[in-house]
Amino acid sequence: MVQSFKMIVNSIPVVIRNGTIFKSNGDEPIPDGELHIVDGIISYVGPAHKSPNEDDSNHLIIDAQGGTILPGLIESHFHATYFNVESLEDLDIKYPVEYVTLLASQNAACALEHGYTSARSGGSLFNIDVWLKKAIAEEVARGPRLTASGREICGVGGLMDWNPDYRKIGMDGLVLLVNGPTEATAAVRKLVKDGVEWIKTYPTGDAASPDLNDHHTLCMTLEEMQAVVLTAHNHNLKVTGHCRATKGIKNALLAGFDSIEHGSFMDDETMDLLLERNVPVVPALYFEMASIIHGSDFGLSQLVIDGHQETLDAGTASAQRIIREGGRLGMGGDYGFAWNPHGNYAKELTFFVNHVGLSVEQTLVCATRTGAEIIGVADTLGTLEIGKIADILVVNGDVLEDISLIEDKKNLLAIIQNGIIKAGTLNNDN
Ligand SMILES: [Zn+2]
C-alpha cells in the first residue's frame, strides 16, 4: 500500500548543524554533522566539513547546540481518541463524538510536541482518525502524519464487548462486534467505506479483563480472522490485532496479519512462524509497567495487576527473543489511559533500553525505520538519507548516551515535518 502525505512544503532551504547525526540506517553516527533540506526533502546529510558550501543568508539555520539529530519518531500504536480514561467503559459512554474529536486533536498535537512526526493508529473511536489524518495533512490541525484505523473489530462477548445486554448500550462508537466470518467480512467492508488504512482486531483478551476475557482467552475465531484479512487485503488495507494468548498470535500469523500488537505469550512454533514471515511486532511494554506501578491508584484490582505482571514478563522475553533472532519491533505505547497518559510516549523507548536490554541505537531504529516499514513508507520516511522527506527531531544533549532525554519535551529543540519547524523550544510559534 502506498500512502501519500501531502503537506505544505517550506520554500526556504534549511541547514541543521552542530550536532551528532543518527541516520537510523545502520551507518555509524556522524559527529559534527550537517543536514540540508530543500523543498522539504533532505539534500545533504553527512560531516559538516564535507557539506556543500551554502550562503547562510539564504537559509534557515538550526543550531543543534552540540546535541543529537534524529529522524522524527514514529509512534506505532497510537490512540488519538483514547482520552486518558480511568476505566475502559469511559471510552464508550463518557463523551459524544464531537467532544472526543476535540480531545483527539489535542492528543495529536501532544504527540507532535513530544517528537513524534508520524503515527500509526491502533484503533479509533467513531471514524475520527480518518478525518484527523486529513486535518493534519492539510494543516488544519497539528499532529503526526497519521495512518488511520477505525472502529475496532472484536467477537461478541470478547474483550471490547463489556456492556451486558440489559444495559441496552451498544458499542457502536468503539467496536464492530462480529459473530462468524460473514459478519467479520461485513465489518471490514463498513470500514472500507469509512476510509481507514488499517483494520484493528481483537483476537485475544487482556489482563485488564480477568473474569471473562483474560490474556489467555481468544476473542475471535481463526475463520473470522481469515475473513478479515481476505476482505481487507482485497481492498489494499492492512490488518493488525491485539494478540496476547499464544493461540491468538498463531492464528493471526496463519490468517496473514500484517503486524502483531503486543505478541506477549509466544512458544517456539509461534516464534518460528513470526520470524519466517518477518511480521513486525509492537509490544507496548511500558503500558504493562505503568499498569503495575500506578494501577492501584486508579482502582485496578490485584488480580488485574498480577495479570499485567505476567504479561510484562512474557512480553519482555518475547521482545528480547524477536530482536535476538533477527525479527522486527515497532515502538508504540498504547498511551491514552489515566495511568499511561498521552505525552509519556518516549517512556517506551527508555524502558526498552533499561529493562528489555536493547541498545539505544537498536531502540531508535525500532522507533523510526521499523515504524516506517510497518506503515509502508520506508522509501520516504524513517531514516535520514538524501531524497527522503525531512521529518527530523533535534534534541539538546547526547541521546546516544541517554535516551531518556527524549522523554522531556524541554530537551526537544526542533520537531520538523517536511522541513518546517512545527514544535520544540526553537519554534517561534511556541
Ligand atoms: Zn491499543
Q: How far is the CA of 142 from the centre of ligand 1 (A)?
A: 22
Q: C-alpha cell of 239?
A: 490488518
Q: pTM for the full model?
A: 0.95
Q: How far is the CA of 337 from the centre of ligand 1 (A)?
A: 10
Sheet order of strands, 392-395 included: 41-47, 30-38, 14-21, 60-71, 392-395, 412-417, 420-423
Among positive and negative, which fits the CA dihedral 365, 8, 124, 279? Answer: negative
Q: How far is the CA of 83 from the centre of ligand 1 (A)?
A: 12
Say yes or no to pLDDT of 54 above 80: no
Q: How far is the CA of 398 from the centre of ligand 1 (A)?
A: 31
Q: What pLDDT is recorded for position 164?
A: 87
Say yes or no to pLDDT of 4 above 80: no
Q: How far is CA 301 from CA 209, 292, 305, 375, in A?
A: 10, 10, 6, 36
Average pLDDT over every residue of 156-175: 90
Count of beta carbons in the 10 Å neighbourhood of residue 110: 21
Q: How far is the CA of 200 from the centre of ligand 1 (A)?
A: 9
Share of the chain above pLDDT 70, in %: 97
Tell me phi and psi for residue 282, to 5 degrees. Answer: -115, 100
Bigger pLDDT: 374 or 57? 374
Q: How far is the CA of 408 from the centre of ligand 1 (A)?
A: 23
Q: What pLDDT is recorded for position 429?
A: 60
Query: Does residue 319 sit in helix, strand or coil?
Result: helix
Q: How far is the CA of 122 from the centre of ligand 1 (A)?
A: 5
Q: How far is the CA of 153 from the centre of ligand 1 (A)?
A: 12
Cβ distance 425 to 408 under 8 Å? no
Helix axes 180-194, 222-234, angle to 10 degrees: 30
Q: What pLDDT is recorded for position 17?
A: 96
Q: What pLDDT is recorded for position 7?
A: 62
Q: Which residues contact 287 (CB under 8 A, 6 or more apart)?
A: 333, 334, 335, 337, 340
Q: How far is the CA of 165 from the centre of ligand 1 (A)?
A: 25
Q: How far is the CA of 33 from the centre of ligand 1 (A)?
A: 37
- In Å, how far from its chain's centre is CA 413? 22
Tell the burial category of 390 from Cβ atoms under 10 Å away from its Cβ (0-12, 13-18, 19+).
buried
Q: pLDDT (tens digit, 9 = 90+) per residue, 259-274?
A: 999 999 999 999 999 9
Q: What pLDDT is recorded for position 8?
A: 61
pLDDT band at 2 (very low <50, low <70, confident <90, very high): very low
Among candidate residues 290, 3, 285, 12, the one with its CA nearest the CA of residue 120: 3
Q: What pLDDT is recorded for position 167?
A: 87
Q: How far is the CA of 78 from the centre of ligand 1 (A)?
A: 7
Say yes or no to pLDDT of 342 above 50: yes
Say yes or no to pLDDT of 418 above 70: yes
Q: How far is the CA of 140 from the centre of ligand 1 (A)?
A: 26
Q: How far is the CA of 49 from the centre of ligand 1 (A)?
A: 45
Q: How far is the CA of 123 from the centre of ligand 1 (A)?
A: 7
Share of the chain above pLDDT 90, in %: 89
Among candidate residues 367, 358, 380, the one with its CA nearest the CA of residue 407: 367
Q: How far is the CA of 56 from the centre of ligand 1 (A)?
A: 45
Average pLDDT over every residue of 114-122: 98
Q: How far is the CA of 129 from the centre of ligand 1 (A)?
A: 14
Q: How far is the CA of 392 from the centre of ligand 1 (A)?
A: 26
Q: How far is CA 177 from CA 152, 166, 220, 311, in A?
A: 8, 17, 10, 25
- β-pair partners for 34: 17, 46
Count of beta carbons in the 10 Å neighbourhood of residue 133: 27
Q: pLDDT (tens digit, 9 = 90+) per residue, 350-381?
A: 999 999 999 999 999 999 999 999 999 999 99
Q: Round the average pLDDT of the chain to a whole number and report it.
A: 95
Which of 85-94, 132-141, 355-364, 405-414 has the weakest average pLDDT?
85-94
Dist CA 155 CA 179 (whole Å): 6
Write out 116-140 in H/E/C secondary structure.
EEEEEECCCCCCHHHHHHHHHHCCC
Say yes or no to pLDDT of 116 above 60: yes
Q: What pLDDT is recorded for position 1?
A: 40
Among candidate residues 228, 233, 234, 87, the one with its CA nearest the CA of residue 242: 228
Say yes or no to pLDDT of 5 above 70: no
Tell me phi and psi for residue 214, to 5 degrees. Answer: -70, -175
- In Å, how far from its chain's centre is CA 4? 18
Do β-strands 412-417 and 14-21 pair in parallel, antiparallel, or remain unpaired?
unpaired
Q: How far is the CA of 262 from the centre of ligand 1 (A)?
A: 9
Q: How far is the CA of 60 from the centre of ligand 1 (A)?
A: 39
Q: What pLDDT is recorded for position 286?
A: 97
Q: How far is the CA of 22 from the centre of ligand 1 (A)?
A: 29
Cβ distance 316 to 263 under 8 Å? no
Q: How far is the CA of 257 from the centre of ligand 1 (A)?
A: 16
Q: How far is the CA of 199 from the centre of ligand 1 (A)?
A: 12
Q: How far is the CA of 119 from the centre of ligand 1 (A)?
A: 13
Q: What pLDDT is recorded for position 305?
A: 96
Average pLDDT over every residue of 205-231: 95
User: Which residue bears the cell 485488564?
Assistant: 208
Q: How far is the CA of 362 from the centre of ligand 1 (A)?
A: 23
Q: How far is the CA of 36 from the centre of ligand 1 (A)?
A: 36
Q: How far is the CA of 160 from the centre of ligand 1 (A)?
A: 11
Dist CA 430 CA 427 (whole Å): 6
Say yes or no to pLDDT of 10 above 70: no
Q: How far is the CA of 251 from the centre of ligand 1 (A)?
A: 19
Q: How far is the CA of 18 from the centre of ligand 1 (A)?
A: 38
Q: How far is the CA of 79 from the centre of ligand 1 (A)?
A: 7
Average pLDDT over every residue of 298-311: 95
Say yes or no to pLDDT of 88 above 90: no
pLDDT band at 168 (very low <50, low <70, confident <90, very high): confident
What's the chain's length in residues? 430
Q: How far is the CA of 51 from the centre of ligand 1 (A)?
A: 43
